[in-house]
Structure 1
Amino acid sequence: MGHLGKSVAQLSALIQTGALDPRQLAEETLDAIRTHADQSIFTVLTPERALAEADQSAKRLAEGRSLGILDGIPVAWKDLFDMEGLTTTAGSTVLAKNPPATTDAAIVTTLKQAGMIAVGRTNMSEFAFSGIGINPHYGTPKNPASTDVPRVPGGSSSGAGVSVAGGLVPVAMGTDTGGSIRIPAAFNGIVGYKGTRGRYAMDGVFPLATSLDALGPLCHTVQDAVWVDAAMRGRTSSEVVRGTLEGQSLVVPETVFFDGIEDGAAMAFEATLERLSRAGARIRRQAFPIFAQLFEIITERGALVTAEAYALHRERLHGEDARGMDPRVVSRSLTGQKITAPDYIHILQVRQRMIAEMARSVAPGDILVSPTLPHVAPTIESLLTDDAAFFAANGKTLRNTQIGNFLDWCGVSIPCGTGDAGMPVGCLLSGLPNTDEHLLSIAVAAEETVRG
């Protein structure tokens, strides 16, 4: 058990020097998952595949043919990435009758080619349609940071966040349509990076809303995310260069992001800003009226994610399958049928105007810095039986992060302290579309300061 809970960097140093055999690490990882007290973190394990891949890695290393820093490193895949021989269920039971995938998702293949070891698939909110992480079919993974009462893991990449935070795997792959990587990262006290939409191949990834869906890793450090990002794009090394905080412009968005924020989250974030300022960053606070306008559009016309999710699941929602789905997912998805084609086109047009306006509102190279979430992880019990409380918590949980999805930002959530009940608080660094290299370079430079 001595190797679990370590970062990619720590494990890679052991593997590359021959101090740790990839098969031993794979066996340790599989054993830890099988014997873990919380059996709702993974939906399925792939031991035969993992051990075969680990043996191949060990052979390469013994022959001096390492594929690089990720060779032999375990990775867990969210339950919406196709894996050859497994049925992709996307956190549901209604897809279980589908035939198994005949090939891996493109990104699964790409990380296998970098030498990573696929150990299994992680639990998630059904069809990725919640930021809370509660799943009535496979159970709800418990947030490992909670010491008082069981708290939510955050969604939709719930098992991904808990599998890393709980020390079972060093990397878990997630998707992010409204915050589904950054939310569990913040709630569980780990790093979560959402690349700009379109940065990675999406073939074989079960969608939620293709206009918004993005991918990225949950892991222990920003440096780990940088290495995984490079591998996800088929690179043998990263072009990200460590930046500097000295003179870096950080913009704090005052509109929406702080509405109803818990005192503990606000205090942790303000203390982070002070540390960043002392480290040489230039911080300014700025209002962004378009953020408020975004939520006005959602109220008037509906949400883009809801329109596309309804279109994807329409037959399911009006057929027999609806009875086998999470009622909360059904009711939220059904609101999409009220969104007309003119509404949908209007939302898309507004989106393009807002993205252009955002580019005019900040200077090139500016990084937005904000609380990832306005609160710490709520208790599971408080949301299980009260639908009104669930939908209110879900809306507030998704609020900050979904702005970045709508405006096509890239983003990294880094732990920045603790708030109420001693639970983790995240600091979100965001960049405009396709500025991922710059964002990651500043995030690498800022991580120690952000963590304090």
Structure 2
Amino acid sequence: MELSYMPTRRSAVQWAAQFAAGEIDVTDAIDQTLAAVEACDDPAIFTLTTPERAHAAARAASVRQRDGRSLGWLDGVPVAWKDLFDLSGHPTTAGSRLLTDAPPAIADAVIVTRLEAAGMVSIGRVNMTEFAFSGIGLNPHYGTPVNPHGQRRVPGGSSSGSGVAVARGLVPISIGTDTSGSVRIPAAFNGIVGYKTSGGRWPMQGAFPLSRTLDTLGVLCLSVLDAILVDAAARGLAAPDIRRESVRHLRVIVPTNVVFDECESAVVANFEAALKRLESAGAYVERRALPVLDEILALNAQYGPIVNAEAYALHRERVEGEAAARMDRRVASRMRLAAATPLSAYIAIMEARRRIVAETAAMLEEGWLVAYPTVAHVAPSIDELEADDDLFLRINMKTLRNTLLGNVLDWCGISIPNGADAQGMPTGFLLSGGPGRDDHLLASALAAEDIIRSEAA
């Protein structure tokens, strides 16, 4: 696919600056956004646009701007929603044709209400892996959004449309979910920022679930500052309460086990170069094995992943009935793998998770962060993965490996672009903090972002 239409990318902060300077009216900006979505040569990015809703919100924001009553940095800024957030009056389809005729939502998701209360303008919903069950981003029902950095490369999932919409400049902000990496993976593959919250930081009500134990929310955007602004609004704050920390106070653990296994050379080279720049700027880096990472993989192998068991429980009637024939075969077959998981195995892995979450939280209480490559490889070929289900399964497991560790441990995490390979495909630098350590993570990422990105494409 030739990417013939690429709007100029503007961050949320850049949108706000243009509104404040009177360079563009909010209504004109939203008209331009909707026109860009309509003109885009990739129809698989958006599954729904909401022009009437967007125009009404834009008019209200425009009046506030003219009257000097702006709600803040996000007032008038466009936002897109992963296709699993309730928008009043529309069915929530979660990337599946099975839910096309579902009753329309009677209320917005709580996160939608909060960001719109900060003035953000909802443009519509963007594509995703069916039922959010893959890190690759393929969707046979609505099409697969194409990674803008290379012909026919995957977008990453499950927040596939979110990653591509932001990377292509259609919107500066898209809100996704992250159960095993679904915000951070598309961020890394598309060369943008992806912030995943730790559990309970943002409200989950009105978001179609996959794994109630591991599901978290997050944002795909163009800068750490944008993520901080969205985080404040998502928590119902009038303004951010996070301040930049000094890189000289940054203490980083780099695991020597698991996360570099089978990593592509460009991924490792870009990570090490960014790490060296951080050290030169005064950050303290300690390399050591984290046995808990091996333990997570061993637990998954022994008992089956938590996400599989909970996804199967949620969708059992679908995947065991006639509806399975109308699902993505890759999603249905992987969900069915958990059918034989006994309750004792589920209880055992949940008990183990509680223990290792507590252990690693204690390890990170003193302000330590953990750093490693977001994904072990760059975005692979859409065509190759669509043609070979065995290859898809292997690559999907490899794609999810590094990020799923943080979900099991309830870490917050942020992926920052840190370069590209020889073909121009982006790589990501993942910085993670312990449960509830989001403020420290975001403050540290704000300080480190320019250093990590300094040689990024």
Common topology (TM > 0.5):
yes
Residue 74 of structure 1: aligned partner: 78
Map 1:168-247 → 2, pairs under 5 A: 168-247=170-249
1:92 to 91, 96, 109: 96
- 1:320-340: CA deviation from partner (whole Å, max 9, x where unpaired): 211110010000111111111
Could you tell me how far apart the structure 2 residues matched to 1:241 and 1:357 are?
28
Q: CA deviation at 1:247?
A: 3.6
Residue 448 of structure 1: aligned partner: 450
Residue 166 of structure 1: aligned partner: 168
Q: Does structure 1 residue 376 correspond to structure 2 residue 378?
A: yes
Q: Does structure 1 residue 112 correspond to structure 2 residue 112?
A: no
Residue 151 of structure 1: aligned partner: 153
2:51 to 47, 54, 67: 47
- 1:207-263: CA deviation from partner (whole Å, max 9, x where unpaired): 000100001110000000000000001101111110011142111011110000001
Q: Contact 2:255–2:290 at 8 Å: present in 1 too?
A: yes
**1:368 counterpart SS class:** strand
- 1:52-104: CA deviation from partner (whole Å, max 9, x where unpaired): 11001111111221111100000000000000111100000001121111110
Q: CA deviation at 1:156?
A: 0.2
Q: Contact 2:293–2:405 at 8 Å: present in 1 too?
A: yes
Map 1:290-305 → 2, pairs under 5 A: 290-305=292-307
- 1:369-396: CA deviation from partner (whole Å, max 9, x where unpaired): 1100110000111101100100001000
Q: CA deviation at 1:315?
A: 1.0
Q: Contact 2:7–2:168 at 8 Å: present in 1 too?
A: no
**1:32 counterpart SS class:** helix
Could you tell me how far apart the structure 2 residues matched to 1:320 and 1:380 are?
28
1:433 to 418, 432, 435: 435
Query: How many pairs were matched up?
Result: 450
Once structures 1 and 2 are overlaid, which stretch shifts more, 221-230 or 418-427?
418-427
Could you tell me how far apart the structure 1 residues matched to 2:258 and 2:406 are?
12
Q: CA deviation at 1:362?
A: 4.3
Could you tell me how far apart the structure 2 residues matched to 1:2 and 1:316 are?
39
Q: Contact 1:412–1:428 at 8 Å: present in 2 too?
A: yes
Q: CA deviation at 1:265?
A: 0.6
Q: 1:353 to 1:260 in 2, by over 3 A?
A: same
Identity %: 51
- 1:330-381: CA deviation from partner (whole Å, max 9, x where unpaired): 0011111111111111011100111122134445100111100110000111
Residue 329 of structure 1: aligned partner: 331
Could you tell me how far apart the structure 2 residues matched to 1:323 and 1:221 are?
41
Q: Contact 1:183–1:372 at 8 Å: present in 2 too?
A: yes
2:321 to 319, 322, 330: 319
Could you tell me how far apart the structure 1 residues matched to 2:236 and 2:292 are?
36
Residue 141 of structure 1: aligned partner: 145
2:28 to 14, 24, 29: 24
- 1:152-176: CA deviation from partner (whole Å, max 9, x where unpaired): 0000000000000001000000100
Q: Contact 1:3–1:11 at 8 Å: present in 2 too?
A: no
TM normalised by structure 1 equals 0.98
Gaps of 5+ in 2: none
Could you tell me how far apart the structure 1 residues matched to 2:7 and 2:447 are?
27
- 1:248-289: CA deviation from partner (whole Å, max 9, x where unpaired): 211101111000000111111110111000010000101011
- 1:19-75: CA deviation from partner (whole Å, max 9, x where unpaired): 211111111001101111111000011111101110011111112211111000000
TM normalised by structure 2 equals 0.97
Q: Contact 1:251–1:286 at 8 Å: present in 2 too?
A: yes
Alignment RMSD, CA only?
1.2
Could you tell me how far apart the structure 2 residues matched to 1:28 and 1:132 are?
30
Look up the equivalent residue of 1:68 and give its one-letter code.
G
Q: Contact 1:265–1:420 at 8 Å: present in 2 too?
A: no
Q: Contact 1:376–1:420 at 8 Å: present in 2 too?
A: no
Look up the equivalent residue of 2:443 and give its one-letter code.
S
Map 1:383-402 → 2, pairs under 5 A: 383-402=385-404
Q: Contact 1:246–1:279 at 8 Å: present in 2 too?
A: yes
Look up the equivalent residue of 1:95 and give its one-letter code.
L
Could you tell me how far apart the structure 1 residues matched to 2:362 and 2:237 are?
32
**2:274 counterpart SS class:** helix
